[in-house]
Amino acid sequence: MSTSSQLEKIKLSQWDALSLESLLSFGWTEEQLLNHIHEGTLPIDTSPFKFDYVSISTWIRANEAKFKRVLKEGYQIKYNTIRGISSWIKLALNVEAELVLEPGQEAVIARLTPQEAARLASVLSLGWTIIPGSEASDPLDQQAEGDARSLFRIILSSPKNTPAAGA
């Protein structure tokens, strides 16, 4: 018997998801991370993101059971931006992504393993689509250090139902 709580992932803001991925990159156990949060001993972030970890720490302290569920089952981002997706790929997967910002062609392009693409798909907010790239379109892709990485294009899907103006 499945319940909605088993089916529905916990939703995090994009900033909280990025902050969480930054904290997870330290390699701490769940217990170590919780200790750092409760003791107020999180490190100062010197990355270009300059995370202060206040928002995610506050959420974790108030929702420890949900946080443990996030660690076991994953999460979904409430609303993604194109730059936020690129940042998430960098923080969570340690992969540099390319941003295409031409109007009408907006996309994030990244070389990912099938497992990384699946993980990304699991966190993306509604409306985003991951499209596998063609190996033939990029000869460099075939030489990706034998790590079975392929190009993936992440795009915003066309809205199917848009509310009428003023509705």
- Flag whether 163 is in a domain: no
20 Cβ contact partners less than 8 Å away, ≥ 6 residues apart? 12, 56, 70, 75
pLDDT at 4: 46
> Does residue 100 sit in the same domain as residue 138?
yes
Q: How far apart are CA 120 and CA 93, in angstroms?
A: 9
CA separation, residue 166 to residues 150, 162, 163 (Å): 43, 11, 8
> Does residue 67 sit in the same domain as residue 92?
no
Choose one of 50, 77, 104: the last residue of a domain: 77
- Flag whether 60 is in a domain: yes
> Does residue 63 sit in the same domain as residue 87?
no
* CB-neighbour burial class of residue 88 (10 A; exposed 0-12, middle 13-18, buried 19+): buried
pLDDT at 163: 44
> Does residue 148 sit in the same domain as residue 86?
yes
> Does residue 60 sit in the same domain as residue 87?
no
> Does residue 110 sit in the same domain as residue 129?
yes
Q: In sequence order, what are the beta bridge partners of 122? A: none
pLDDT tens per residue across all 167 residues of the chain: 444 444 689 999 999 999 999 999 999 999 999 999 999 999 999 999 999 999 999 999 999 999 999 999 999 999 999 999 999 999 999 999 999 999 999 999 999 999 999 999 999 999 999 999 854 345 444 444 556 899 999 999 876 543 443 43
pLDDT at 133: 83
> Does residue 38 sit in the same domain as residue 96?
no
> pTM for the full model?
0.83
11 Cβ contact partners less than 8 Å away, ≥ 6 residues apart? 75, 76, 77, 78
- Flag whether 50 is in a domain: yes
User: What range does the domain containing 32 cover?
Assistant: 4-77
> Does residue 13 sit in the same domain as residue 44?
yes
135 Cβ contact partners less than 8 Å away, ≥ 6 residues apart? 141, 142, 150, 151
Choose one of 62, 77, 92: the last residue of a domain: 77
> Does residue 52 sit in the same domain as residue 108?
no
Q: How far apart are CA 73 and CA 66, in angstroms?
A: 10
